[in-house]
Structure 1
Amino acid sequence: MRFSYILFLCLIYLLPVRAQNAVGEWQTYLSYHNSTRSEIVGSKLFILANGGLYSYDKEDTSIRTYSKSFPLSDTEIYHIAYQSTYKTLIIVYSNANIDLLVNEEDIYNLPDYKNKNMTQDKTVRHTCFYKEYAYLSTASGILSINLKKREISNYYPLNKDVLACNVSDNHLYAATSEGLFAGLLTDNLLDINNWKKVSDDTSDFLSEHRDVPFKEEVPENITPDSPVRNYPYYMSFTGDRLLIAGGGHIANRLDRPGTIMTFEDNTWKSFQEQGISEQTKHRYDDINCVVQDPQDATHHFAASAGEGIYEFKDGKFINWYSMHNSPLESALPNEPWADGYVRVNGLIYDKENNLWMVSCEAQHAVNVLTKNGDWVSLRYPEIVKASNFGRTIFDKRGWLWATSSRIESGGVFCLNYNGTIEDTSDDQHKFITQFTNQDGTILEQLAVYCIAEDKEGIIWIGTNKGPLVLNNPSRYFNDNFYCTQIKIPRNDGSDLADFLLVNEAINAIAVDGANRKWIGTATNGIYLLSADGMETVHHFTEENSPLLSNSIESIAIHPRTGEVFIGTSKGLVSYQSDATEAESSFRESNVRAYPNPVRPDYSGVITVTGMVYDSDVKIVDTAGHLIYQGTSLGGQFTWNGRNKQGKRVSTGIYMVLAADSEGKEGVVTKIAFVR
C-alpha cells in the first residue's frame, strides 16, 4: 500500500508534457490549396486539392486529411468518385494506382491497372456507376471495377479517348473523341469489334453525362493548414523555423511560381506573391533559396534563378536587387533580355552577419551585401562564367564552399578570405572540377549538387557519382589534395569492395545530431548512414515507407527535435529520427523523457532528450539494479522499456542516469511505468 502511494505521488510529479513525435513516426505535409474536385459522403465533403485529399464535416466542421502516411497507398491523386451503396470512394493516382476508401476508414489497394503493361494513356476522365460496378472512362478505353468484390474486373481497350460513359438498356455507352459507341454488356466487350458507333455527335450525351468535378462547392476558409504548394526544392532551419523555397534552377529554370514558405509551431505561412511582378516589371518565379537575417527574425532575403534577389520584411516584399541597382550581373549581359538571366543562389550569412551569394556565369561570381548595406563584388578567375553555382556553406574555419552542378564544368569552389572581405590580396581560393580519389583515379564529368560539414569538420559533397568525402579540407589548396570515395566490403567473402552509392546522383546531404549522414538521391530514396558512412542504418523508398517519391530534392533536420524533413519531387514528408543535436552541458531543465508515465497500452520506445554528445546512459530501478544501458545518439537516448533479458519492466519508477563520455557530468530524471 505504501509503495502504491509513493507511485501515485510520482505519477502526479511526472505529469505528461507535450512531446515530439514518436521515434520512427512519419508525417506528411501536403498542400491542400486549390481544390479541383469534391464528392459528397454523408455529412462530409471529400475534397481533392493540389493532389491531396481531405474531408470536411458539414455538421461539426471538423477537417481530416488523408495521405500516404495514413491510410492511403500512394500520393498525387488526380481523380475521385463516390458510390453510396457500397460506401466507396474511388481514388485514382497520377501513376494509375487505385485505392478504394470504404466506410471512410478502410483502404483496399488495386494496383493491377498501374501495373498493366500497356503503351496507351491510362488517364481517367470520368466515372459512372451501374449496380456493383464502377466504369472509369480513360484516355484509351474503359476500366471496370467490381465494388462488391473490391477488384478490377475488366479493361475494355477502345483505342480512343473516352470522355464519359454510362449504362442504359443493358448497353455500355462511351462518348469518345471519334463519336458515341455502344457495347452490349452480355457480349465480350474485350473484343473491340463488339463496339458499334451509334452517333458521330456526342454533345447531347456529354451534356447529360459529363464529368461534374464539384458535387458541391467547397466552402471558403476550410483549407487545412498546409504548404501553399508541394515544392520543397530548398529547405533550411533557422532555430525552430523551417524555411522553404519552391523554385530552382537545374539545367534550365523550373518555371515555378515564386514560392517562399515557413513552418513553425505546427503552422504554415507563405510570403507575399501577389503584386511583386507588377512592381518589378519582371516575372516572379523560381525562388531557389531563402535566408533569415541573424539579427532580425522578420527580415529575409530570397534568391531567384533569373531576376536577382528579393528582400522581405514580415513576409512582405520591400526591395528587389537586380543588375540595374546592384553589382549583380547577368549571364547574358549583351542580350535585350539580360535582366532575366541574373542567376543568384547560395545565400548565406557569415559570423559577422554579412550576406554572401554566388552568381552563375558572371564575371564577379561572388557578391557580399555587408551588414552595413554596402555591396562588395569579388572576382576569382577560375570561376568566371562558372555554371550552375548552387549550394554554399561556411565551415568551422570560416571558409566559404560553393558547388557547381553542370556536368561539363561542375566542381567545388573554396574561398578563404581571411576575414577581410574587401582586401583580396591575402585570399586563398581554388575551384576543383576534377577530383582525384585515394586510389589516384581522376573523377571526370563530375556534377556537384550539395555539400555539408559534419561534426568532425569533414566535408561531404554529393555528386552524380555518389558521395565524396574531404577528410582533410584544410589541405584543399595543396596541389596533392585528394578526396575519398568510401569503400564498402562485399558480402561474398572476397577482399573486394565497392564505392559507396557510386551509381547514385546525390541531391542532398544532412548531418544529424549523432554525426550520421542523411543522403538524398535523385532516383533511389534516402539513406541514413553511420557517422563514417560504412553502415547503412536505414534506406527508405516510396516502396517500403511513406516516402512520397524516390526523387529527393532537399533535407533539413530540426535542431531540437531531430525530425528529418525530406523534400521530394511530390511534396514534403518527415521522419522522427532517434538522434537530436547534443547539449553543450547537462541541465536538468533540458532533460525529459516521453512518454512519461508509460501507460499499459504503449509499446513503442521511450525517448530521453537533453543529453550531451555520446552520453553514457543507465536505466536503474529504485533499488539501484541496472536494467538497461547504452549511448545517446547526439542528444537523444531511446529505450524499448525492456530489461537486459528482453522482458518488459514491471510497474514502478525507473531512474535515468547519464554522464558525458568522460564521466565528469551526470544528470538524473525519472520514468514511471504502469502495467
Structure 2
Amino acid sequence: MRYFRQLILLIFPVFLFSQDFSNQWTGHYSYFQINDSYAAENKIYVASENAVFIYDTDTRTSETFSTVNGLSGETVSTIYHSSIFDITVIGYDNGLLELIVDDEVITFIDILEKPTIPPTQKRINHFFENDNTLYISTEFGIVEFNLERIEFGDTFFVGPAGSQINITGTTVSDNVIYATTSGNGVLNANVTNPNLVDFNQWATLVPGQYRGITLFNDQILVWENNNLVRRLEGTVLTTVITATSDVIDVSIDSNNLTVINSDRASVFDTNFDEVISAISTTGDSFLLNTALSFNNTLYLGTDSRGLLEIDFNNLNTKTSISPAGPLSNFTFGIEALNNTLWVVFGQYDVNFNPFPLQQRGVSKLTSDGWLNISKDEVLGATSLSHISINPNNEDQVFISSLSSGLLEINDNVVTNLYNNLNSGFETFVTNDPIFVFLNGSVFDNDGNLWVNNARVNNGLKRFSPGATQTFNVNLSESIPNAIGNLGFTDTVIDREGNLFVGGFNSGVVGYNVSTENQIQLSGETEGSNLPSDYVLALEIDRNNQLWIGTFRGIRVLFNTSGVFQQSNPKASQIIILDEEGVPQELLFDQTITDIEADGSNNKWVATASSGVFYFSSDGQETLAHFTVDNSPLPTNNVLDISIDDSTGSVYFATEKGLLEFKGTATGPEDNLDNVVAFPNPVRPGFSGRVTIKGLTSRSNVKITDIEGNLVYEEISEGGSIQWDTTAFGRHRVASGVYLILVTGEDQAETTVSKLLIVR
C-alpha cells in the first residue's frame, strides 16, 4: 500500500509538500487549548489551537507537529486518523486541508482557494471515512477525498436548488450516506449513486438544526442545537439521551458513547445508560471543546487546561497529558537572558486600549523545560506586557502591566504588585488601581528600574527594587499634553546612562540623568526626520546608536550622548540600493514592532505585516527575511523579538505562537579561552557563512592562509563575527587550512585557531 501511495504521489502532483524547518527552528507552541480529538488503536490524535500532537497511550509519550514540521499555523477545526491508510487528516477554519503521511506534511489548498465559495464559508467541520473515501463536511457542502489515491473527488452542493449549506457531519449505513445540517435538517442519498453531485438525488428526512451525526451500535444518532441526542429511524426521531445542557459534540468507541457539554463529559453504554460523568466544579473547573473515552479512560479536551486524562475508576484525579509549552499562543512580550526565556500574554490595541482585560499568567522556559505561573497566581494583574530581568539578580523579574502596575517575581513566585495604592506609580483615574498604565522598562548600572507610566505628567519613573516610592521625571516639558498621550512603548538606556522613551504620539523623548535635560524627536520638532510620531520600538546597539522603529519606518540616532547639546536633534534614514541600483529608504512605510541587535551587532527587525528582517550592523545588507512563506512563522505580524546572547537563539513572539531560531551570533565573552569557528571543516557545497564566536568585545580578528596572506579582517562588535569565506568579498578562497588570529581590544590577550575549507 505504501509503495502504491508513493507512486500516486509522483503521478498526481496536485498538492504541496510542506517544508520541515526542524534543523534550525524550534516551535514553542501552547497545547492547552484543545479544539478536537480522535482515538484510533492505541493513540489519541489531538488538535490544539494551531498545532497537533499524537499521544501514545502505551508509552505515555507525545509526538508534536507544528509549523516547524510544515503545518500552516492556521486555526485547526477538526482532526481524524485513518488506520487503514495510516494517514492523519487535519481540517482548518479557513478550508485548508493537511495530511500527515509517513511523518511528512502535505498541504491541499483546493478548498481554501476555491473562488466560488465565500471566504467565511470554507470551514471544515467533520471527517467520515467509508471504503477509500473521506467525506469532508464543510460550511458549503460535502467534499470527497480519495485516501488511497490522495486526491479530491466530487463536491456536493446539497442545499435547495443546489445551494451551499452548512454540513455539520456525515455517516454511512447500509450504503446510505446521511448528512446533518445547521438549518436544513437531515439529508440522505444512496452512497453508490454515481450522480450525487445532483442535489435532486438528496432527500430531506427530517427538518431542523443539527450539530452532528454518528453511527453507534448500528444506530444513527443525531444531536440538535439543544440538550437532546436522538436516534434516527427512517423519518422518525426518538430521544435516547437528555443532557443537562446543550450538546457540543458526541464521540464513540467500540462500547461507549461520550456526550460532551461545555461543563461535563458523560459516558454511556450501548443501552444508553450512564457509566461515568466528569463534571466541572468551582474548585476544579474546566471548559470543554471535545472529549472521548478509550480503554476505560476519559480524555477531556479543554479550552485552557489542555488534554486531561481520567481513569474510570478514579474520577477525582485528572492528569494533564498535553505537551509542555507556554500558557497561550498569544505571546505578546518576551525576554531572554542566559538560557532563560520569560513570556507574557498581555494585550492592547493600537490605541493602547487593554480592554477587555486579559489575565493569562506568566510562562518561563529554561533548559529543564517550561514553568507556568497561572493566572490565579499573579495577584489579579492583567494585560502583562513587558519584562525586565534584574541583571544583578536573575531570579528577580519585573513585569509591567498596561492596567495594573508592576508585578514582581522572585524565585518563580509572585511576591508583589505595585500600583498607585502602595507605590509611586500613578493612575490616570483617581484612586483606581486598574488604570496604572506601565510598559517599557530597563535597568541602569546602579540596579534601578526605569519604567514609563502613561497618561500622567510624571511619565518616567525610577523604581528601586526593595523600595516602594519612585523618583519621578515630569515629561510634560517635552510632551505638553502628557496626560492625553495614550501610551508609551519602549524605554532604553545608553552607555552614558541617558534614557529614551517611545510612545503613541510623542515620538522619542530623551532624558539626561546627570543634567536632567530633555530632548524630543517628533513631528513637532523641526527637522527631527521621524516618519511617524508613533514609536513602537527602540534599541541601543553595540555602537551606542539608537535605532527607532515607528509606525511608518525606521530611523537611527547616531550620537545619543551629543544629542542633548543639539537644539534640533535629527534622526537619520538608512538609504540602500535596490537590485537596480536605485537609492531607497530601508523599510519605507513599514510598521516596525521591534528591533534587536544580536552578538554581531546585526539587526533583527520585526514588522506588523512583512515578517522579520535580519540586517547587517549598518542595515545595508539583508542577511535574511523570514515570512510565513519561507519559514515556520505562523503569521507575518511579529510582536516582539528577544535574543539570548549566551546561545545566539532568537525568539519571535506572535499572536499565533512562539518560535525560536537557532542563531549563531552570541554576546561578548570575558576572555578568549573559548574561541571556536563553525562549521569546521567547511565542506563542498556549503554556501553559508562561517561563524567565529567566543570573542571579547572589539576583538581584532584576522584570517590568513597557511602562508600568512591576509584574506579577511574585522573588529567584532559583540561576541561573534561571520565570514563569507571570500577574500575581502572579491572571490571565494581556495581549499586549504586557514588561521584565525584573534587579539583582544587591549592587545593583552591573543589566540589562534585553524579552519579547514574543502571546495
TM-score (norm 1): 0.82
- Say if 2:140 is the partner of 1:140: yes
Equivalent residue letter for 2:586: L
Residue 440 of structure 2 contacts residue 489 of structure 2 at CA under 8 Å; is this kept in 1? yes
- Matching residue of 2:270: none
- Matching residue of 1:616: 701
Out of 170, 178, 181, the position equivalent to 1:165 is 170
- Matching residue of 2:583: 497
Secondary structure in 2 matching 1:539: strand
Q: How far apart in 2 are the matches of 1:410 and 1:472? A: 20
- Matching residue of 1:290: 387
1:449 to 1:155, Cα distance in 2 relative to 1, 3 A: farther
Q: How far apart in 1 are the matches of 2:22 and 2:188? A: 56
Out of 431, 436, 442, the position equivalent to 1:348 is 442
1:627 to 1:58, Cα distance in 2 relative to 1, 3 A: farther
1:319 to 1:490, Cα distance in 2 relative to 1, 3 A: closer
- Matching residue of 2:575: 487
1:519 to 1:640, Cα distance in 2 relative to 1, 3 A: closer
Alpha-carbon deviation of 1:575?
1.7
Equivalent residue letter for 1:473: T
Alpha-carbon deviation of 1:62?
3.4
Alpha-carbon deviation of 1:543?
0.4
Out of 321, 332, 347, the position equivalent to 2:418 is 321
Q: How far apart in 1 are the matches of 2:151 and 2:487? A: 49
Out of 356, 364, 375, the position equivalent to 1:262 is 364
Residue 156 of structure 2 contacts residue 196 of structure 2 at CA under 8 Å; is this kept in 1? yes
- Matching residue of 1:205: 222
Residue 400 of structure 2 contacts residue 438 of structure 2 at CA under 8 Å; is this kept in 1? yes
Residue 39 of structure 1 contacts residue 82 of structure 1 at CA under 8 Å; is this kept in 2? yes
Q: Deviations over 1:55-105 (max 9, x none)?
A: 2333333332222222435454332111111111101234432211124x1
Q: How far apart in 2 are the matches of 1:510 and 1:544? A: 21
Residue 542 of structure 2 contacts residue 718 of structure 2 at CA under 8 Å; is this kept in 1? no
- Matching residue of 2:16: none
Out of 600, 613, 629, the position equivalent to 1:543 is 629
Alpha-carbon deviation of 1:655?
6.2
Out of 583, 589, 598, the position equivalent to 2:669 is 583
Alpha-carbon deviation of 1:518?
0.8
- Matching residue of 1:330: 427
Q: How far apart in 1 are the matches of 2:83 and 2:22? A: 39
- Matching residue of 2:59: 60
- Matching residue of 2:341: 242
- Matching residue of 1:414: 510
Q: Deviations over 1:398-418 (max 9, x none)?
A: 11111113xxx2411211121
- Say if 2:494 is the partner of 1:398: no
Residue 126 of structure 1 contacts residue 211 of structure 1 at CA under 8 Å; is this kept in 2? no
- Matching residue of 1:3: none
- Matching residue of 1:9: none
Out of 312, 329, 354, the position equivalent to 1:253 is 354
Residue 144 of structure 2 contacts residue 152 of structure 2 at CA under 8 Å; is this kept in 1? yes
Matched residues, number: 624
Equivalent residue letter for 1:176: T
Residue 305 of structure 1 contacts residue 345 of structure 1 at CA under 8 Å; is this kept in 2? yes
Residue 76 of structure 2 contacts residue 91 of structure 2 at CA under 8 Å; is this kept in 1? yes
Out of 546, 549, 561, the position equivalent to 1:462 is 549
- Matching residue of 1:303: 400
Residue 489 of structure 1 contacts residue 497 of structure 1 at CA under 8 Å; is this kept in 2? yes
Name the Cα RMSD after superposition.
3.6
Q: How far apart in 2 are the matches of 1:319 and 1:195? A: 65
Equivalent residue letter for 2:122: K
1:608 to 1:367, Cα distance in 2 relative to 1, 3 A: closer
1:489 to 1:648, Cα distance in 2 relative to 1, 3 A: closer
- Matching residue of 2:188: 182
Residue 462 of structure 1 contacts residue 508 of structure 1 at CA under 8 Å; is this kept in 2? yes
- Range 123-132 or range 609-618, more displaced: 609-618
Q: How far apart in 2 are the matches of 1:614 and 1:143? A: 63
Equivalent residue letter for 1:358: N
Q: How far apart in 2 are the matches of 1:626 and 1:443? A: 46
- Matching residue of 1:387: 486
- Matching residue of 1:668: 752
Q: Deviations over 1:217-251 (max 9, x none)?
A: 25425332322221321122233322222213332
Q: How far apart in 1 are the matches of 2:700 and 2:396? A: 37
- Say if 2:210 is the partner of 1:125: no
1:611 to 1:345, Cα distance in 2 relative to 1, 3 A: same
1:532 to 1:600, Cα distance in 2 relative to 1, 3 A: closer
1:648 to 1:30, Cα distance in 2 relative to 1, 3 A: farther
- Matching residue of 1:6: none
Residue 542 of structure 2 contacts residue 717 of structure 2 at CA under 8 Å; is this kept in 1? no
Alpha-carbon deviation of 1:513?
1.7
- Range 339-348 or range 79-88, more displaced: 339-348
Q: How far apart in 1 are the matches of 2:722 and 2:460? A: 44
1:312 to 1:147, Cα distance in 2 relative to 1, 3 A: same
Alpha-carbon deviation of 1:535?
1.8
TM-score (norm 2): 0.74
Equivalent residue letter for 1:285: T
Alpha-carbon deviation of 1:140?
3.0
Secondary structure in 1 matching 2:561: helix
Higher RCO (CA < 8 A, seq sep 6+)? 1
Equivalent residue letter for 1:429: Q
Q: How far apart in 2 are the matches of 1:399 and 1:637? A: 28
Q: Deviations over 1:16-35 (max 9, x none)?
A: xxxxxx99812211112344
Alpha-carbon deviation of 1:673?
10
- Matching residue of 1:432: 521
- Say if 2:458 is the partner of 1:364: yes
- Matching residue of 2:153: 153
Secondary structure in 2 matching 1:352: coil
- Range 165-174 or range 316-325, more displaced: 165-174
- Matching residue of 1:572: 658
Secondary structure in 2 matching 1:297: coil
- Matching residue of 1:7: none
Equivalent residue letter for 1:458: Q
Alignment of 1:263-278 (within 5 A): 263-265=365-367, 267-276=369-378
Alpha-carbon deviation of 1:114?
1.8
Alpha-carbon deviation of 1:111?
1.6
Q: How far apart in 2 are the matches of 1:543 and 1:176? A: 35
1:656 to 1:224, Cα distance in 2 relative to 1, 3 A: farther
Alpha-carbon deviation of 1:110?
0.9
- Matching residue of 2:104: 106
1:568 to 1:614, Cα distance in 2 relative to 1, 3 A: farther
Secondary structure in 1 matching 2:572: coil
Q: How far apart in 2 are the matches of 1:639 and 1:86? A: 48
1:490 to 1:619, Cα distance in 2 relative to 1, 3 A: closer
Equivalent residue letter for 2:701: D
Q: List gaps (5 residues or longer) in structure 1.
A: 1-21, 278-282, 419-425
Q: Deviations over 1:172-193 (max 9, x none)?
A: 3221122112344435444545
Q: Percent same amino acid among aligned pairs?
A: 26
Q: Deviations over 1:104-146 (max 9, x none)?
A: x132211222222331422222211112121222233223222
Q: How far apart in 2 are the matches of 1:449 and 1:526? A: 15
